[in-house]
Structure 1
Amino acid sequence: MLALLFKNFIRSKGTKIGLLFLLCIGFISLLIGKQFQDKQQNSIQEAAIYQKEHIARNAEYHKDEIGLLLYYIKFSLVNNTLPINSLAIGQRDVNPSIQNVTIRGLEGQKYDSELNNPNNLLAGNIDFSFVLIYLFPLLIITFSYNIISEEKESGTWKIVATQSQNTFKYILQLFYVRILSLIALLTVLLFTAVLFLNIPLDQSFFIFYGIGILYILFWFAVCFFVVSLQKHSNFNAVILLTIWLFLIIIVPAGINAFIVNKYKVPEALELTLQQRNAYHEKWDMDKNETLEKFFKHYPQFRKYKNSEGKEFNWLWYFAMQQMGDDESAVQSKELEVKLEQRNRAGELIAQFIPTLHTQIQLNEIAKSDLRNQLLFLKETTQFHEKLRLHFYSKIFENAPVDQQKWEDFKVETFTDATTISFGKAFLPLLLFILLLIGFGWRNFNRNVV
């Protein structure tokens, strides 16, 4: 029976067109992922080459004054990009994966990003997660909305009912054939991605694959429930498309608007301007007052004295830079806290919205979510502080430039060590699937097919 049902299903021209269309879009998404992956790898390689040449060139031009040299030199920190990130680009197309910073004021540099076409950012990338979350459900709806109603409307259902000993089992077999076809398509695309994008077959990949299967099963469960109401095909199609529109577009947009209004964050641009204004104000302030604030922050540098009679010295200059960061620290912390609150609120609400939950989990697996970006910003702060502590004493003592081991300063990499919870990833989807199947089964039992 299953073999016959599968032949009848796959023989349909609409089925072939639908599967072929989704397969082609899936391959296009892998090509887009490959382009993104190559761009990231090229950027990292170029950053390493640039930093080496940049430091060597400036060390040659500014041989006599290490303070002036370190005014210009930039050091790079890379947010490690996993191969699986090509399947779920997430926030990586908006937030930079490389931070280039000098030891001057950090807040004016932390939120720098690449220049991108706003129209491209608005449209977003058609990565694999987009294909899975947006397009797979449409094909599932197309295949499932008229499983019973079409035969009832054509008058052939009574023949099926008399020839089948168990009509409910027959309905399950119809769904089974369609589920198998979509999971097979998902499997082909993902294992093609493994070969094409060099994705390792590790825990992250199989959790990604598992979430994809559960997401497909969720939409089949939605269709199963709607079909169990035993309405006309037009009714089923309208209801299912309304549910798709509601879960994919309307609810996420509403939740985003709610979170943005509830946890309002200060603009990063305003924070940058505040840091710069705080720094520029110090040019007109008493130098000793600025230095005293600096020594309270770094008491270990109190032994260095301001050069009397000089209008400018590097101790005072970098003290001004530090004070710009210190005076914007409250706003910087507020921004960090608000973004963390947004992230936590989004993850909590998403547990009750399967589409949102799937998107967040896929991004979390790929290390392209908001949590990863916040961790990267924290690591940037620590990286910048480490550079300051290493170079401040050398600047204040005007250490010889040629005695520094500049070749030791390589591009550093931040690796997100956040672990993935199986329960958090799978449980919400499983609960919704079981709930919808339970209600659908009850409807079928209540209204004999």
Structure 2
Amino acid sequence: MIRLVFQNFIRSNSVKIGLLFLLLAGVISLFIGKQFIEKQKQNIIETDIYQKEQIAKNVEFHKDDIGLLLYYLKFSLVNEIPEITGLSIGQRDVNASIKSVSILGLEGQKYDTELTNPYNLLLGNLDFSFVLIFLFPLIIIAFTFNIISEEKESGTWRIVSVQSKTPFRIILRLFLVRFLAVLMILLFLIFMAILILSIPLDIAFWEFLGMSVGYILVWFGICFWVASLHRHSNFNAVILFSIWIFFIIILPATVNNYLVTTYPVPEALETTLKQRKGYHEKWDMDKKATMDKFFAHYPQFKSFAKDNEGFNWLWYYAMQQMGDDESAGYAKELQQKLEQRTIVSSNIARYVPALHMQIQLNEIAKSGLTNQLNFLEATNKFHEKNRLYFYPKIFNSEPVESENWKAIQIEKFSDKRYSNPLRLYFPLLVFIFLFGGLGWFNFNKNKRLV
């Protein structure tokens, strides 16, 4: 029976076109993801080469003054990009995955990013998560909106229901065939993703696959419930597309507007300007006030205190540090607001399947806001580590050749993400059982219509 139903379903030209469209869009999204990953990896290679070259050149030009040398040198930290990021690029196309910072004031450097065409950023990337979240539901709707109503409108459903003792099973078979067709496309695209993107079969991969199947089941549950209302095809199409627009466009836009209004984020530019002001105004202030604040922050460097009134690197780097210290309040406020947005959006997303999918897929692919915040925190630690390593060398006026500059390499940050299966799958399971249960209840309540 299933075989006959499947053959009858797949025979339709519209079905073939729909599946081909989904397949084509999915394959294109995989190659877009591959292109993005390759570009990022090439950037890392070029950054490594550039860091070695600029260190070598500056060491040659400033071999007599380590303080002046470290004014120019930059050290790079890389936010590692797993292959699965190619499936859900998230905010990686906006936020830089490489931070190259000197030991000068950090807040003026931390938010630097790549120059990118803003029109391209507005359109975003056609990654696999977009195809899954936006296009798969449309195909499911197209395959199921008239699954029963068309038979009733043509008069053939009455014959089917009379000949079968359990017409409800026929309905389940019709939905099962369509689910299997969509699932085959999904699994084929995931298989292609493994080959094209070289995705390892680790826990992140299985989480991504599980979320994808769950999301498809949510939309089949919604379509199953609408079919159980026993309305005509036009009504089913309108209500299903309205649900799609509500879940995919209206609700996420409303949530975003709520977050922007409730948790206004101070601009990164504000923090940068505050840092620069805190540094530049120190040129006109009493040196002792600057040094006292610096030694309060780093008491271990009091032994390097200098009494001379002229320029010295201890005072200069103390001014840089004070710029960071005086902008620390703005930086902390920025991070706290972003963290609040992340927490609130995740909590609200539990009730919005599309939004929940987007956030969780980005988290799995390490391309979400949480990853970026963790990377910025790692940048803070990386910068501080370099400062504490080079400050004594600068303040003690050590020879440039005493340091093995060739041994300095770019460093990598690996985001250690611990999954919570309940947080991933529970919201999807709630929607699956909710709409599936409502559909089952309606079909059993109106058996005479079935």
Amino acid at match of 1:317: Y
Alignment correspondent of 1:358: 357
**In 1, distance between residues paired with 2:429 and 2:49?**
48
**In 2, distance between residues paired with 1:127 and 1:444?**
38
- How far off is 1:178 after superposition? 0.4
Q: Deviations over 1:188-238 (max 9, x none)?
A: 001101011100011110110011001000000000000100101000000
Summarize the alignment of residues 193-204 of structure 1 with structure 2, pairs less than 5 Å apart: 193-204=193-204
Alignment correspondent of 1:410: 409
Q: Deviations over 1:78-97 (max 9, x none)?
A: 00100000000001000000
Alignment correspondent of 2:76: 76
Alignment correspondent of 1:316: 315
**Structure 2: which 5+ runs fail to align?**
none
2:425 equivalent to 1:434: no
Higher mean displacement: 138-147 or 160-169:
160-169
- How far off is 1:439 after superposition? 0.6
- How far off is 1:307 after superposition? 4.9
Alignment correspondent of 1:446: 445
- How far off is 1:73 after superposition? 0.3
2:386 equivalent to 1:387: yes
> For 2:77, what is the secondary structure of its paired residue?
strand
2:145 equivalent to 1:141: no
- How far off is 1:160 after superposition? 1.1
**In 2, distance between residues paired with 1:422 and 1:203?**
11
Amino acid at match of 1:397: N
**In 2, distance between residues paired with 1:226 and 1:39?**
44
2:243 equivalent to 1:243: yes
Is this contact kept in 2: 1:51–1:76, CA < 8 A? yes
Alignment correspondent of 1:4: 4
Q: Deviations over 1:342-363 (max 9, x none)?
A: 0000000001111111111110
Is this contact kept in 2: 1:307–1:313, CA < 8 A? no
Is this contact kept in 2: 1:6–1:177, CA < 8 A? yes
> For 1:115, what is the secondary structure of its paired residue?
coil
**In 2, distance between residues paired with 1:378 and 1:191?**
35
Amino acid at match of 2:173: Q
Return the TM-score normalized by structure 2. 0.99
Amino acid at match of 1:272: T
**In 2, distance between residues paired with 1:281 and 1:73?**
24
Alignment correspondent of 2:99: 99
**In 2, distance between residues paired with 1:398 and 1:37?**
43
Alignment correspondent of 2:285: 285
**In 1, distance between residues paired with 2:420 and 2:400?**
49
Number of aligned residues: 448
Q: Deviations over 1:320-348 (max 9, x none)?
A: 00000000111111111110000000000
Amino acid at match of 1:51: Q
Alignment correspondent of 2:176: 176
Alignment correspondent of 1:45: 45
- How far off is 1:305 after superposition? 2.2
- How far off is 1:309 after superposition? 3.9
Return the TM-score normalized by structure 1. 0.99
- How far off is 1:52 after superposition? 0.9
Alignment correspondent of 1:157: 157
**In 2, distance between residues paired with 1:83 and 1:44?**
14
Alignment correspondent of 1:401: 400
**In 1, distance between residues paired with 2:307 and 2:66?**
17
Summarize the alignment of residues 170-319 of structure 1 with structure 2, pairs less than 5 Å apart: 170-310=170-310, 312-319=311-318
**In 2, distance between residues paired with 1:409 and 1:254?**
48
Amino acid at match of 1:116: T
Q: Deviations over 1:151-174 (max 9, x none)?
A: 111111111111222110000000
Higher mean displacement: 245-254 or 415-424:
415-424
2:83 equivalent to 1:87: no
Amino acid at match of 1:436: F
Identical-pair percentage: 60
**In 1, distance between residues paired with 2:115 and 2:53?**
23
**In 2, distance between residues paired with 1:81 and 1:331?**
29
2:381 equivalent to 1:373: no
Is this contact kept in 2: 1:204–1:365, CA < 8 A? yes
Structure 1 runs (4+) deviating above 3 angstroms are: none
> For 2:70, what is the secondary structure of its paired residue?
helix
> For 2:303, what is the secondary structure of its paired residue?
coil
Is this contact kept in 2: 1:82–1:366, CA < 8 A? yes
- How far off is 1:288 after superposition? 1.1
Q: Deviations over 1:417-442 (max 9, x none)?
A: 11111111111101110111111111
**In 2, distance between residues paired with 1:302 and 1:265?**
37
Is this contact kept in 2: 1:99–1:110, CA < 8 A? yes
**In 2, distance between residues paired with 1:158 and 1:276?**
78
Alignment correspondent of 1:32: 32
> For 2:367, what is the secondary structure of its paired residue?
coil
**In 1, distance between residues paired with 2:42 and 2:164?**
61
